[in-house]
Structure 1
């Protein structure tokens, strides 16, 4: 009863001002394509890490209250009801700060404090479809100069600090992330929506609220559940999308070692919620393309143990191993000490929950806005063999296509040119 009351106290924020503007197309990552023009918001719940408590149990209660079967993800369910007035599913967003909070690890000051750390938005089908093309912005979109939270020298110094920690045996790998922001004027949603057009943006889409918006172009699956099968697709290893870059990624001992560390971490995370002995690596080190970069991806899956609910699942996988490091808790402490500002909407989770299916992307390649600034995050995994100069250049290469689209200019057509690591 106390848990239910806690959820009720935090959940009633009502439909947001942005979502209730006329003619806004619901464009949450992983939402069923056919449902997008037929949905409207029914209710939402949100939480900031300063609220305290366990937001994952509370959000599970909130979604259950709206009829979504998330208390036991292994229980057979009927498909969602797509009739007008019936709940289709819900968007779910969980920030990196929320994941660190659940592990008891402090985080740096967030650059966009108005952005919640957990958001759930329930949508139902409407009889009045929304046009596929959103209305033009009422004001001209302008983006000011970018301000980086650390300069290349400070970033490289942090990379070396991680290498020193690895040398002491404190950690095996740490993912370091930098932040940049720029002032803007006008409606940010069209700019954020453009991110989904980047090649390889498996989780392209947006989520909005009062005074904030998130745009995602992520290629990475944090967690997907269908029936009783759970999987994750960690990405680690990056090279320019050229023939030479692909060959270098496939033959790099450094990148493969970094990747396998994270695959092992993800196997361990899934083991906490899986039937004993069912965790498998279905595909190891497959090379995929995101925009002008090659990246290495693996697929790890398992059979869920009976009775695993949404809260259990998120406790096991948040924050994502590929954007923290190994061991995860130790890596988070180094992240808190070395990164100059919080990760905001970056390195969290964003996606869709419906009866019988859950699909959350890891919010890499993600931007967010508050009332007057646009925010962007980019980074990479650091191992003993990492070269500081190359790591700084790799983070810049990941951010470049997003910066171009957000500014309203075409993204780079030539693959990013940055030093390949040994």
Structure 2
């Protein structure tokens, strides 16, 4: 078993954690690190808030942001929150075990400004990289059966919608970090970046905002609805009554989530059902925002938005209970949050289109939202379409898109 090099700082000049200030990236140095699992004794939301506040980041009252100064010692923190940690925050069912247990459920890496650009880090080579065949955690038939069971739960009135996610893994040889950096550069990867630790790494090409906070206002940008990035695919997505109904249902869920931490009357839908492109797919995105209520801190924010509504379902707690039963393995590094928390802003992307690496395997997850109108075969095909570009770019050391 090989050891993945443990420090995020090594990757910074090439694929920094999503959201790190571009002007600071070349001279950032790891200052301190928090890592833990979701099944520990501490609440992940409280633990993260206390850790970051202890390093001077203004996370106890998000209506009072600080100012980012390149002259300050602490620049900010790269943060990862798994779906399991999010479920723990809201007291939901934990679900099955992660197939990549080396990846922690909560990570915060605090960076300080160095005095000079980082130098002397080893170069990573692409020769010797080889990815073996993919092993799926369920067959297409079992995936389709899970979709049917989800529809049964909808028919029974237990839920309105649920997101069902599958997993695949492949053995590898060579250095995984160049492959994860290629992934982070996929077109449309608003939250493209890499985060590493001892024996694990996460590469993200997510287009979706889990939560952003700037100037006292909070934003989430749920994505629901997928078609091939062709002219007919775009028209079909715009005209699909099923996709639009599914999308609006999640927008309503996100409005309710933000209302839990918002000043009364400030929640609004800024954009509804906007079509955007990620790699070879069209996807529908909306923007929901609100003004944060006085005294609300990072822990309150995370409990309101985690796990993300677009990858859980509605009602959220009932959907999480279904997910714990339907899915074959845990969500690991997927369907969580990854990004940057600085003195002046919070910006976490939802970890869709994300891969995790442990000592000998690469892991990828993908799925989709199930409604009463879902067709099992179409849902299986949609999950494959989402994971396809991720798997392809991980496999090909010479592919640049």
Structure 2 counterpart of 1:282, from 267, 270, 273: 270
Cα distance in 2 for partners of 1:357, 1:205 equals: 18
Tell me if structure 1 keeps the 8 A contact 2:11–2:194: no
SS of 2:363's partner is strand
Structure 1 unaligned segments of length 5 or more: list them. Answer: 1-15, 414-422
Partner residue in 1 for 2:307 = 319
Partner residue in 1 for 2:22 = 33
Structure 1 counterpart of 2:80, from 81, 87, 93: 93
Tell me if structure 2 keeps the 8 A contact 1:206–1:215: yes
Kindly indicate whether residue 19 of structure 2 is the aligned counterpart of residue 48 of structure 1. no
SS of 1:194's partner is helix
Structure 1 pair 412–335 and aligned structure 2 pair: CA distance change class (3 A): farther
CA displacement 1:3-56 (0-9 Å, x = unmatched): xxxxxxxxxxxxx95217867636101112122111010000111022132111
Partner residue in 1 for 2:210 = 222
Partner residue in 2 for 1:362 = 350
Partner residue in 2 for 1:165 = 153
Tell me if structure 1 keeps the 8 A contact 2:10–2:121: no
SS of 2:247's partner is helix
Tell me if structure 2 keeps the 8 A contact 1:402–1:411: no
Cα distance in 1 for partners of 2:5, 2:398 equals: 30
SS of 1:51's partner is coil
Matches within 5 A, 1:321-360: 321-360=309-348
Matches within 5 A, 1:21-420: 25=13, 27-77=16-66, 79-83=67-71, 86-102=73-89, 103-130=91-118, 135-137=123-125, 140-408=128-396
Question: How far 1:412 moved relative to its partner?
Answer: 11
Higher relative contact order at CA 8 Å, sep ≥6: structure 1 or structure 2?
2
SS of 2:201's partner is strand
TM-score, normalised to structure 2, is: 0.95
Cα distance in 2 for partners of 1:381, 1:27 equals: 30
CA displacement 1:294-325 (0-9 Å, x = unmatched): 00000000000001100010010000000000
Tell me if structure 1 keeps the 8 A contact 2:182–2:400: no
Partner residue in 2 for 1:3 = none
Moved over 4 A (4+): 20-24, 131-134, 409-413
Cα distance in 1 for partners of 2:226, 2:398 equals: 22
Tell me if structure 1 keeps the 8 A contact 2:92–2:321: no
TM-score, normalised to structure 1, is: 0.90
Cα distance in 1 for partners of 2:166, 2:119 equals: 37
Structure 1 pair 405–134 and aligned structure 2 pair: CA distance change class (3 A): farther
